[in-house]
Chains A and B, each alone.
Chain A
Amino acid sequence: MGVMVDHLAAIMLIVVTTISLLVQVYTHGYMREDTGYSRFYSYLSLFTGSMLGLVVSTNLFESYFFWELVGVCSYFLIGFWWHKNTAAEACMKAFVVNRIGDFGFLVGVLWFLSATYGFWNGHPVLMFSDQAGYDLVGAIKWAASNGSLTAASLTAISVWMLMGPMAKSAQLPLHVWLADAMEGPTPISALIHAATMVAAGVYLIARAYPIWLTPQGTTDSAGLAIVAWVGCITAFAAATIALTQFDIKRVLAWSTVSQLGYMFCGLGVGAYTGGIFHLFNHAFFKAMLFLCSGAVIHGLHHCFSHDRDLKKRLNEVSLMDRLIPPDQDLRNMGGLKEYMPITSFCFLIGCLSISGFPGMSGFFSKDDIISSAFRYAGPGHELLAWGLVITAGLTAFYMFRAYFLTFEGKYRGKEKPHKETLSVMNLPLLALVIPSIASGYLGMNPGMWSQIFGGTPTPLPNVFTQFLHWGPHPEFEAADPTVMLISTAFGLGGIALAYMVYLNNLGLNTWCQNSLKLLYQFSWKKWYFDEAYIWFSQKFALPLFRTAWNLIDMTIVDNMVNLSSFVAVGSGEMLRYSENGRGQWYALVIFGSVSALGLLYFLLRPLG
């Protein structure tokens, strides 16, 4: 155990403490009327503490410990409204999926430990970094030189270990829990399931980066290629799913999955700084977007709270046939700009940022990742990069779809919402506007603009890269106007399309629903992952477990336990009756024992 604050940890500390503080403030407004107000705050503090512990961990085992702690906090908080059936099922789902991931993670860690065991030699094991060189880098070098670790086995270890981050950061195919995690209260969605905990997977990969590199420490490894591909596929898949969702929180959740995919892909293509930079920027604007959605839900809540039947049904329905609560349904919103100007403004800033609108924070980090992907030399890099670019376009589309459906146009509900007044819930939103725009400029050099418009491309230093980089020296890059232009064009295109469809009544969406029914259903049903998992577990996994259970537990273990207890209790009873309570007998036993002991000693004595 220990505490380590280096530049990577410092960045995470900024993210976690800032957002945690703002969410705590926000919660006071959001949860004020909830009966679990104080319980909520205690979970919130437990989570923040665990997350900070994870950030400052010095070695993999300590990380694992806090990793599990944040996981259990997430479980508590998703199931915070446990009386809602969907919430109870969702927290169980999150827990089970994370168990699967953490199992792989543990296997990876233990395998790595056993391969490098001789190296640590009394030093604390699995340290991330150490002045004397007793850290992951040194261990891999040592193990590679004496043959206990080959490139192939390191790749295998990294794949096992990747399962942990994949589950925690909701990457395909372990992504299924994150959207359902939105059953928890909205502040939690902002803090845990958008900004901090789900980014822990990305953080862990960055923290234990050497494991994903080649044994020689270069970035052209199979481990990283897998990370990149997982990230890219997730980014694309989640973006396509987000296109058709109607629950405002689910749209944001799927966009989180998609953006986490970007970060994975960034780390995977060797853009260490870029991946973390996106994590940093994303945390602020995504937390803000979630808090905005919370404000909307809070504002609309009273408009739909009269329908007791519906409320009852919402509480009882199971996760698979979940109904969208009316106060979260985009179809019931519209025109809220008029009633909630502050929220609408903040949401717009968030949408611009996540869409990579030039000058907003998301633009800089996303561009960094995409241009790194174009430069990447690994397998299928063209496809990877174009996947990200297309995803950027989709992102812009679905985010502005959500924005237009919520805040623009005409209000589609029956009862009008109240006019928004500046409250304790708005302050964090406004505070988050600043980093949502400004944090991107940490990764920018003013000379960039002149380069784009006709200067010579030379590498330019910037603050963020100088602060955080992999390897001894920061690698600065020249701005690449082509890539920037392409991704910006896709982003603007997405926004324009959303405007056409949702404000100008272009009949594209009805056309899609009718003519591309299959594709539409595919997106609406979230690529049928849940159905596939349920089919698999009911057809194969559960019957298998049941057989194993019958075989091992019922017949072997139970009988062994019964037998041993029978022997123990039986012999106890027998011995009990050797005591017949007669004094003479006692004296006789004493004398008898003395002679017996003497005799026994002569028969058995050790030295003959």
Chain B
Amino acid sequence: MQSIQDYLGAISSLTPVICLSTAILFTALWNLFFPRLKEITPIAGIFALLFAGTALWQQFAVGSITLFGGLYTVDPLTVLFGVLACGVGAIVILMTMGCESELGRNAGEFYTLLLVAVLAVMVLAGTTDLILLFIALETLSISCVVLAGFSKQDRRSNEAALKYLISTAATTATLLYGLSFLYGLTGSTSYYEIHNKIATFAHAPSLVVIFTMVLLLSAVGFKLSAVPFHMWTPDVYEGAPTPVTAFLSIGSKAGGFVVAIRLLSVVFASSVSDWSFILGLLAIASMIGGNLIALAQTSFKRMLAYSSIAHVGYILIGLISNSLDGLSAVSFYLIVYGLMNLGAFTGAILFCNETGSDRIDDYAGLFKKRPWLATGLAICLINLAGLPLPPAGFFAKAFVFWSGIQASGANPLAWTLIIVALLTSVPAIYYYMRVAIKMIVKEPSDAVKKLEPERKRMVDPQICPDVALAACVAGIVIASVMVNPIMKLAKDSVTPVTSPAVGMLDQNLN
């Protein structure tokens, strides 16, 4: 840090982060002093997220800036994932507002913790230093653990929090172990310097480098819930309050992916063939395991949980191909997957609020009682299945698979990956469409039969989740129509991390 001007400039680049931190403090304290006006808390949270997102968006065109001596980088990738995290946060808050009663008196703290988690993802997106990486990752994990256990009266929620804590602790251990190796090898914590050091002995990867890589990948794999680091996923997803599950399934995964992109494409850029092989194994295991277990589920949330494992497998194909196309396909997939998955979870919340049930069989005939809910949910499910109606989900899959095919020259596993992906897409279509078809075609189940006729709209506690579902469906439709602009955005965002630009970042640093 040369001068006070630089420092002030860096601070101004951190406007979104500061804005969110302020909102965290606000939400934490507001209910304490003004318990009667506690309805303001979530609204303030949403506004803070929107503001932070907008402020981030302004930085998209700025290019790459490294701050604090390489600790933090603001580049289009940071911006894209930060905005994604803000969007996810806003939608999750919206869906939470429908089931605040579940959270009891502590609703204010819930929003605080959620904002902390969003903040952590945002920082993860920009971090280019091992120390900051670790801190952000731990912040994310701890806030998620607390969120998972937020329904204190619910045994399953407590169990979920405990299991998540144990698993997190285990992977924190492996991560730290890996980080310490990395520091020992290179004597630096900055991504760029490590990149340069590792490049010097990349041609003959030693045992240590590979072991380091496996340790780091285990931590990333845990955040992504890739098989075999997925064991916590179903229990936590089922036990945690549904909004938390929704956040875990996309918010914390987006964090995991951006870490993976930066670590693998920047730090380990010189040993692509090594990590792409390991990740390939994880991807294959995730696609097969996730899809097959999802097939046998009877609970809607558990099915979504397992299928999210499978989706991680698909996204990893883009990451493995390690090209501009591949990484932009990853970004595109995450945007679209975020929308449709949040939509599906919102549908689950709306259904659960009214019927108290989560069983897939109970969804039968929902269309007759709640046509809009059933239609919105069906659109999300159809897209999750990758069917082109509207084609956002289909394009997302197609881009990822295509990038995998293009990379088939460099990666021996590429064709295996594509074939496994295509084959496992078939059960995916089955288990998603089963729910959609049940809702629309079948006769109403007992739970649906008990539903009151359509509610009056304006005076309704469900209005916020409704808005969330509508926003997700609208987002899917927009993403289907504007595939090219969004794809261009995704391309722009990953351009700085694809190889040639890394050297440029180096110069920035000096």
Q: Which residues of A contact B (CB under 8 A)?
A: 568-569, 571-573, 575-576, 579, 581, 583-587, 589-591, 593-594, 596-598, 600-602, 604-607
Contacts and interface: CB of A to CB of B under 8 A. Distances in A.
A591 B170 contact: yes
B88 to A, nearest CB: 26
B166 A584 contact: yes
A570 B289 CA distance: 12
Given A572-B296, A581-B235, A590-B174, A601 B167 contact: no
A596 B278 CA distance: 11
Given A586-B231, A590-B170, A606-B412, 20 more contacts: A572-B292, A572-B293, A572-B294, A573-B296, A575-B296, A583-B162, A583-B163, A587-B170, A589-B231, A590-B167, A590-B174, A591-B174, A594-B214, A596-B228, A597-B281, A598-B214, A601-B210, A601-B278, A606-B273, A606-B277
B281 to A, nearest CB: 7
B231 A585 contact: yes
Interface in B483-506: none
A575 B289 CA distance: 7
B344 to A, nearest CB: 20
A602 B205 CA distance: 11
B211 A590 contact: no
Contact of A586 (B166, B211, B289): B166
Contacts of A596: 228
Contacts of B391: none
A360 B104 CA distance: 90
Interface stretch (B18-26, B62-70, B112-120, B215-223): B215-223
B214 A587 contact: no
Contact of B214 (A568, A576, A597, A604): A597
A593 B228 contact: yes
Contact of A601 (B215, B231, B277, B295): B277
A56 B317 CA distance: 46
A571 B424 CA distance: 13
Contacts of A579: 231, 234-235
A585 B282 CA distance: 19
What secondary structure prevails in chain A residues at the interface with B? helix
For A568, A573, A584, A594, which residue has the most chain B Cβ atoms within 10 angstroms? A594
Contacts of A604: 277
B232 interface: yes
Interface in B234-265: 234-235
Nearest to B411: A606
- 4 closest pairs, A vs B, by CB? A572-B296, A587-B170, A593-B228, A586-B231
B215 A594 contact: yes
A585 B296 CA distance: 22
Given A584-B166, A593-B228, A598 B295 contact: no
Interface string B274-302: 10011001100000010011111000000
A594 to B, nearest CB: 5
B248 to A, nearest CB: 16
A605 B278 CA distance: 9
B293 A576 contact: yes
Given A598-B210, A605-B274, A586 B167 contact: yes
Contact of A589 (B169, B217, B228, B296): B228
B232 A586 contact: yes
B273 A607 contact: yes
Contacts of A584: 166
A600 B281 contact: yes
Nearest to A601: B278
Contacts of A593: 218, 228-229
Contacts of B170: 586-587, 590-591
Contact of B222 (A568, A572, A590): A590
Interface in B30-46: none
Given A581-B235, A600-B281, A594 B412 contact: no
B78 interface: no
7 contacts: A586-B231, A590-B170, A590-B218, A591-B170, A596-B228, A601-B274, A606-B412
What secondary structure prevails in chain B residues at the interface with A? helix
B163 A586 contact: yes
Contacts of A607: 273
Contacts of B234: 579
Contacts of A598: 210-211, 214
A586 B231 CA distance: 6
A606 B471 CA distance: 46
B27 to A, nearest CB: 31
B218 A597 contact: yes
B171 interface: yes
Contacts of B215: 594
Contacts of B281: 597, 600
Contact of A597 (B162, B217, B292): B217
B304 to A, nearest CB: 15
A601 B280 CA distance: 11
A578 to B, nearest CB: 8
A572 B228 CA distance: 15
Contacts of A576: 293, 296
Nearest to A590: B170
Given A569-B296, A579-B234, A593-B228, A587 B167 contact: yes
Contacts of B475: none
B305 to A, nearest CB: 11
Nearest to A595: B214
A550 to B, nearest CB: 27
A573 B166 CA distance: 26
Contacts of B162: 583
A77 B205 CA distance: 74
Nearest to A589: B231
A607 to B, nearest CB: 6
Nearest to A573: B296
Nearest to A584: B166
A582 to B, nearest CB: 9
A568 B426 CA distance: 11
Contacts of B232: 586
Given A581-B235, A600-B281, A604-B277, A587 B169 contact: yes
A569 B215 CA distance: 33
Contacts of B210: 598, 601-602
Contact of B171 (A568, A590, A605): A590
A594 B218 contact: yes
Interface string B309-320: 000000000000
Nearest to A594: B218
A600 B284 CA distance: 14
Contact of B295 (A572, A581, A587, A605): A572
B1 to A, nearest CB: 38
A602 B211 CA distance: 10
Contacts of B412: 606
Interface string B409-432: 000100000000000000100000
Interface in B180-223: 210-211, 214-215, 217-218, 222
For B170, B215, B235, which residue has the most chain A Cβ atoms within 10 angstroms? B170
For B162, B169, B222, B296, which residue has the most chain A Cβ atoms within 10 angstroms? B296
A572 B211 CA distance: 32
A568 B295 contact: yes
A602 B273 CA distance: 13
Contacts of B217: 597
A576 B291 CA distance: 11
Given A568-B295, A583-B163, A590-B174, A597 B231 contact: no
Nearest to B275: A601
Nearest to B302: A576
A569 B289 CA distance: 12
A584 B211 CA distance: 23
